[in-house]
Amino acid sequence: MVVPFWTPITPLAGFLLHADPQFGGAASALLDPESTGALTVFAFQIGTDGQASTCRAWLCRDPLEEEQIEDRVGPVEPGKWLSWPMQTSTLLQSDSLARASCWLEADEIPVAWLNRFPTGAEVVRKTIELRSRRILDPDRRLLARRECEYELFRSVEQAIEMPNIAAGFADIETFISRAQTILQRRKARSGHSLELHTREIFLEELLVEGAHFQHQPESEKGKKPDFLFPSQAAYRDPSFPAERLRMLAVKTTCRDRWRQILNEADRIPQKHLLTLQEGISESQFGEMVRSGVQLVVPAGLVSKFPKTVQPHLQSLSAFIEGRRAIEA
């Protein structure tokens, strides 16, 4: 995942790579398979001629370093990049504002949303209205809706925040407060959106909530997996066969965060993890397998993983079909 910046940044902890044509050659951290999926910042120094004379790169080593970056720029979607141009003072992306397939023009945005930013559930419902696509299999449906939702979210953000930015700020503290609001909203959307889309797809695939699956249950005290199958009641029933239980965790990225799910749902030794991470290293995957984690990856992203890993990934469609087979 690459995040280009067009202005120098105060150095963060991590790998500092002076730019040469090969970024350090074969020994470069950028070419290390263990760096697959790591958040990276490229900072270009622009000369008076408008050309980049120097490039420096920071490669994040752990989630803490990634959070330091995302605290400044907002969440970075897997496979996406962000540009923060030196000439702009806003935190909004500088992409073209031309109407995209899911971009809402000002007169298309519900009035209530302009007074109160919509909840994640409201944005997801609007996304489904724009991109129902129930003829698509669950994998393609999920990816199409995530792409649509990202555009929709940004169009609403643009409509709400640009007037504030254009009006200016009375002091630095007011500006920082507004910027933090924007960044925190983006992070909250990114973390919860995939969960909500997955729940909607389960319902569309005729899985009944409370009978076939449960969203945000409590498996044990203080432990809340994203999804339990078939239900919290079945999980807590000692007489219910453990081999018929499943849990599904949902994480947009999983490079270092997958370990967080290991202590969820003690009765279920194999933890299924749905992710949009575009690839991990073979050694990371091996560690997941040894820890009892089964990766669930939309079929359209499987090619991003090492060829030796691809046969061992499960698609969302296959996960749903597997659940149906257990219920049959």
CA max distance for the chain: 74
In the set 58, 150, 202, 235, the catalytic residue is: 235
Q: Identify whether the C-beta of residue 313 lies closer than 8 Å to the C-beta of residue 281.
A: no
Measured at the CA of 307, the angle between CA 302 and CA 312, to 5 degrees, comes to 65
- Chain center to CA of 126: 19
Task: Give CA–CA dist 14/10, Å, rounded.
Answer: 12
DSSP state for residue 209 in the 8-state scheme: B
Give all strands of the β-sheet with 214-215 in edge-to-edge order: 214-215, 227-229, 246-251, 271-275, 293-296
Residues making up the chain, counted from first to last: 328
For this structure, is 235 an active site residue? yes
Task: Give CA–CA dist 227/319, Å, rounded.
Answer: 13
Active site residues: 235
